Amino acid sequence: MQLAPSRVADILIAWLERFELNELKNEKATALVDDVLLEISQRAEQARRRAEWNAALRHSQLALDRARERSKKIKKTDAAAKKMATYSDAAVHFYAGTLGLALSDTDAALNHFRLSAKEFGNLERQRARSIACAAIGIAQAGRRKWAAALEAYQQSLALIDQIDPQDSSLKELRRQIVQTVPMILDCYEQEASPDNT
């Protein structure tokens, strides 16, 4: 089965929204994310799905700029605001990374996904970090860096396994990540092999 880069972005967004953002609601931790930044990022996502690239890029850049401005204004003593800014920034970078993938700009996508994984990790949001690591693997596959792609996938699965192996939602996320690896390799029309790293 051949997947287009925009379809790969769809998969990643579905993982973030279903397995992380919905979990925030279940945990009653929705105060962790800036609703305005999330809305702007989701507008960029909607424009991407309609292949309205200029609007998608404009919304994505607006979200990134707004997140950057917000982070600068937060006082170091305001832990709750800093936590919200960090989480929101991580989510904005994740959305920007999926746009990069859809545009076949795997270098930009990789940079955004790395920032997202780092910031989710700083907050100890391992579920979100595992999704960002899987996205790093996808971006590395797009760059034909097979060893790095597989390493990122393995890190993603290891993070999931550390959280709660009995959580049915995490089991489903893990299953989907495991099934996605061969599809992504096929998407980029390459086979992973030890001598093709």
Q: How many domains does the chain have?
A: 1
Q: What is the pLDDT of residue 107?
A: 95
Coil/strand/helix, residue 50: coil
Task: Tell me how far apart the alpha carbons of residues 197 and 185 are, in angstroms, rounded to a whole number.
Answer: 13
Whether 120 maps to a domain, the answer reads: yes
Q: What is the pLDDT of residue 189?
A: 53
Task: Tell me how far apart the alpha carbons of residues 82 and 122 are, in angstroms, rounded to a whole number.
Answer: 11
Nearest to 135 by CA among 125, 124, 146, 149: 149
Report the CATH number that the domain containing residue 172 is assigned in CATH: 1.25.40.10
Is residue 94 within 8 A of residue 75, CB to CB? The reply is no
Whether 43 maps to a domain, the answer reads: yes
Which residues, in sequence order, are CB contacts of 22 under 8 Å at separation 6+? none
Q: What is the pLDDT of residue 17?
A: 92
pLDDT tens for the chain, 197 residues: list them.
445 778 889 999 999 999 999 888 887 766 778 889 899 999 999 999 999 999 999 999 999 999 988 888 887 778 888 888 899 999 999 999 999 999 999 999 999 999 999 999 999 999 999 999 999 999 998 898 988 998 999 999 999 999 877 788 889 999 999 988 777 766 665 444 444 44
Residue 174's domain spans which residues? Answer: 5-187
Q: What is the pLDDT of residue 146?
A: 84
Task: Tell me how far apart the alpha carbons of residues 126 and 133 are, in angstroms, rounded to a whole number.
Answer: 10
Whether 140 maps to a domain, the answer reads: yes
Q: What is the pLDDT of residue 197?
A: 45
Whether 169 maps to a domain, the answer reads: yes
Phi, psi values for residue 123, rounded to 5°: -90, 0
Q: What is the pLDDT of residue 187?
A: 67
Q: What is the pLDDT of residue 27?
A: 79
Q: What is the pLDDT of residue 185?
A: 66
Is residue 86 within 8 A of residue 78, CB to CB? The reply is no
Whether 197 maps to a domain, the answer reads: no
Whether 194 maps to a domain, the answer reads: no
